[in-house]
Amino acid sequence: MHTTEREFVKMVLIEIKDLHASVNDIEILRGVNLKINRGEVVALLGPNGHGKSTLLQVIMGHPNYKVTKGEILYKGQDVLAMSVNERARAGLFLAMQNPSEVPGVQISDFLRAAINTKREKPIKPIELFRVIDKASKEMQMPHDLASRNLNEGFSGGEKKRHEILQMKLLKPEFAMLDEIDSGLDVDGIRIVSQQINEEKKDKTFLVISHYARLYELINPTRAIVMINGRVAIEGGMDVIKRIDQEGYEWIQVEHNINIEREDKRPIVLEICAVNERSKQ
Ligand SMILES: Nc1ncnc2c1ncn2[C@@H]1O[C@H](COP(=O)(O)OP(=O)(O)O)[C@@H](O)[C@H]1O
Ligand SMILES: [Mg+2]
């Protein structure tokens, strides 16, 4: 069965091996192993404070996290050796759990910088406004979006929609969405999940949410649960539904895993792929 084996190897998009990462000398990720195949939609669950956001930030290259051991391979390339911009160019994208408000930066400038990171020739202004206008309509965002400041005065739901709008414009191959449904009302969840379903055709997703409601709409191929900085268990919609209804206690009992209590620790500032670029 050599061919099948080779085909399987070819299909792996991202592979994380024994990843350890710390913030302020506290080890948060303690040996994450995870392989995601091209075309998958992987649901990432886990109690608060167990390293879900940290994992995504480390994959994207947040400077606050120090990788102390392990590796991340994306299409066989060493991700940890790449800058944030190189990762974005290679097709990685992160929609952050708490997108920051950046009062001095206009959305059109921000999106232009982000789009240009991935292009040889800069996008023409007319083309830029055309794509922003189209994406804003699809996301049902305000028509004057382009002239507003990044996330300033946005409601929680608008911030989340704007993250998906960025994903639509940047066209990543591997999109990581961190609690994309938090702060969204029923309409927002419908719009966001519709967009994810459309983008599923040519993208691979890693999606953090606490709620079965979102996952029922986007139909993940697999669910993984992160506990104590490691991938503790894996399953399907059954695991997601059980967590939604019962929480995490049963994993402690049935899988004999001691779930450590979340410590109250300082919150990190989040970055995104284009920060370096938009400063230039
Ligand atoms: N700058 C920081 N300093 C110290 N601890 C931090 C920092 N940022 C995050 N942490 C801690 O790392 C742990 C994992 O956080 P996080 O990855 O955000 O968890 P999750 O997304 O699973 O809720 C938490 O205990 C959090 O308090
Ligand atoms: Mg988180």
Each domain of the chain, given as residue ranges in start order, spans: 2-279
- pLDDT value at position 71? 98
Instruction: Render pLDDT for 120-166 as a digit per residue (tens, 0 to 9).
Output: 999 999 999 999 999 999 999 888 888 888 888 888 889 999 999 99
For residue 103, pLDDT beyond 90: no
Instruction: Render pLDDT for 241-263 as a digit per residue (tens, 0 to 9).
Output: 999 999 999 999 999 999 988 75
Q: Are strands 204-208 and 174-178 parallel, antiparallel or unpaired?
A: parallel
Q: Is 208 exposed, middle or buried (0-12, 13-18, 19+ CB in 10 A)?
A: buried
Residue 245 Cα to ligand 1 middle (Å): 25
For domain 2-279, give the CATH number: 3.40.50.300
Query: φ and ψ at 182, to 5 degrees?
Result: -75, 135
Confidence (pTM): 0.89
Greater confidence (193 vs 275) lies with 193
114: left (phi over 0), alpha (psi -120 to 50) or beta: alpha
Q: Locate the ligand 1 atom nearest the alpha carbon of residue 229 and give its number.
A: 14
Ligand 1 cavity residues, CB under 6 Å: 23-24, 26, 28, 46, 48-54, 64, 262-263, 265-266, 268
Residue 48 Cα to ligand 2 middle (Å): 7
Q: Tell me which H or E stretch contains 33.
A: strand 26-37
> Sign (positive/negative) of CA torsion 16, 169, 40, 55?
positive
The span from the CA of 243 to the CA of 226, in Å, is: 12
Residue 44 Cα to ligand 2 middle (Å): 10
- Say what percent of the chain tops pLDDT 70: 90
10 pLDDT band (50/70/90 cuts)?
low
Residue 1 Cα to ligand 2 middle (Å): 41
**Residue 251: other Cβ atoms inside 10 A:** 21
